Structure 1
Amino acid sequence: MSVENKAGSKEELSLEQQEELLRLLKARFEKNMNRHEGLDWAKIQAKLEANTEKLWSLHEMERTGGEPDVVGHDEKQDEYIFYDCSKESPTGRRSVCYDREALESRKKHKPENSAIDMATAMGIDLLTEEQYRALQKLGNFDMKTSSWVQTPNDIRKLGGALFCDYRFGHVFVYHNGADSYYGARGFRGSLRV
C-alpha cells in the first residue's frame, strides 16, 4: 500500500515488511510491559493495520535506530502513543542541527540534515521536554548521548534550541545554537496511532 508522508512524497511498505515490523513491535511490547501496563497488543495491532501510513512512520523510526514502543494510550482521542525507546539517541538521526533555518545559516561544515526536517519526512514529531521527562520515568535513556527536543518559539527566534540528556540520576535540559550539531546528539520522536 502506498502512503504519503508529511513531506508529501509517496512511501510504501510491502506486506512482508508490514508483517515483519508488526512481529518486531509485538516482541518489544511484550518484553517491556512496564512501559504500557494494562494495554492490549491486539487492539494496538488492529489500529496499526488500519493506519498503514503510521506503520511506514514506525518503520522509519525503527530503520534509523529508534526502537519505537508504545508508552501510553490517549483514551479521549483513542490513540496509542509511541516514543523512540532506544537506550541512546537513535544512531541514524545524529549529527543534525535543529531545523532547516539553522542548516541554511551555516556557512561551513553543514550537516546533512536537520532534526525537524527528518522528523517531518518520517511523519513523526520531536519529543517535547515534558514527553522526554515522561520517557525517563520508564527507564534510563541518553546516558551517553543527548537528544534535541521541541523548542519554544521565543528561544528559537533568538537562535537557540533545546536538547536533553540523563546524567547523575537526573534529566538535564540545555541550550545550544540551533545550527550546532554533534556526533552524540540526535533526536527522539513520538507518533500517535
Structure 2
Amino acid sequence: MAIENKKELSSEQSSVLLKTLKNRFEKNKNRHKDLEWDNVQAKLEVNSGNNEKLWSLNEMEKTGGEPDVVGYDEKTDEYLFYDCSAESPKGRRSLCYDREALDSRKEHKPENSAIDMAASMGIELLTEEQYRELQQLGNFDMKTSNWVKTPSEIRKLGGAIFVDFRYNNVFVYHNGASSYYAVRGFRGVLRV
C-alpha cells in the first residue's frame, strides 16, 4: 500500500501560521504599503481548500525563511510571498544548485540541492530580478549568499548564479553548480 505524502496542515497549524504571518505583515508595512492583511488572509483561506499553499508557507517558515507578502500581481490575482529573513534561511544552506550538480559530486555530497528542496516545498527560487526587488525592501544577506534561478545557457556549461548584498549593492556571481557553502542557501517565492 502506497503512503501518500499529504501537503496539508491541521486547522491548529494553519491558525498558528496565519497568526505568525499576520504579525509579520503588520510589523513590516514597508514591504507592502498598499496591501491589506484582510485581503491576503481571505486569499489564503480560499486556497486552504487544498491547503498546499499554506503548507508551502509553513515549510518556508520552518526552514527559517520568515515569508512575508512583498507584492500583488493584478494580472494573475496573486499575492507574492518572499523569504524575508535577514540572512539566507538557516534550514536551506549548504546545498549545491540542482540534482545534476548533486549527482556529479563524487565525494562530500551535500544533503540536497536548492532546486530539489524548493520543489519539495512547493516554491521556486527567486530570480535575480526578484532578489533585486527584495533588496529595495531592506538589507538582506549582508553575511550570507543565495542561489538564484540560473539561465539555462549558463547551467548547460556547468555554472550557476548566486547573489548577496555588500557595500550597499547587490552582487551577482557565478560558481560551479556542484559547489556548496555553509553560508549559501536560497530564498523562495510563492504565489497565492
TM superposition score normalised by structure 2: 0.96
Partner of 2:102: 103
Partner of 1:177: 176
Partner Cα distance (2:31, 2:91) in 1: 23
**Post-superposition CA distance 1:115-154 (Å, at most 9, x none):** 0000000000000000000000000000000000000000
| Alpha-carbon shift at residue 9 of structure 1 (Å) | 3.6
Structure 2 residues without counterparts, runs of 5 or longer? none
Unaligned ranges ≥5, structure 1 = 1-7
Does the alignment pair 1:44 with 2:43? no
Mapped to 2, the partners of 1:158 and 1:10 lie a distance apart of 37
Q: CA deviation at 1:12?
A: 2.0
Q: Secondary structure at the match of 1:70?
A: strand
Residue identity in the other structure for 1:166: F
RMSD between superposed Cα atoms in Å? 0.8
1:63: which partner in 2? 62
The equivalent of 1:151 in structure 2 is 150
2:25 aligned with 1:29, yes or no? Answer: yes
Q: Which runs of 4+ in 1 moved over 6 A?
A: none
Tell me the CA shift for residue 85 of structure 1. Answer: 0.2
Give the counterpart letter for 1:29 in structure 2. Answer: F
SS state at 1:104 partner: helix
Question: Which residue identity does 2:13 align to in structure 1?
Answer: Q
2:34 maps to a residue whose letter is G
Name the % identity: 74
Q: Which residue identity lines up with residue 122 of structure 1 in the other structure?
A: M
* Alignment TM-score, normalising by the size of structure 1: 0.95
| Partner residue, 1:84 | 83
**In the TM superposition, what is the alpha-carbon distance from 1:11 to its structure 2 partner?**
1.9
3-state SS of the aligned residue for 2:107? coil
Number of residues of Structure 1 aligned to a counterpart in Structure 2: 186
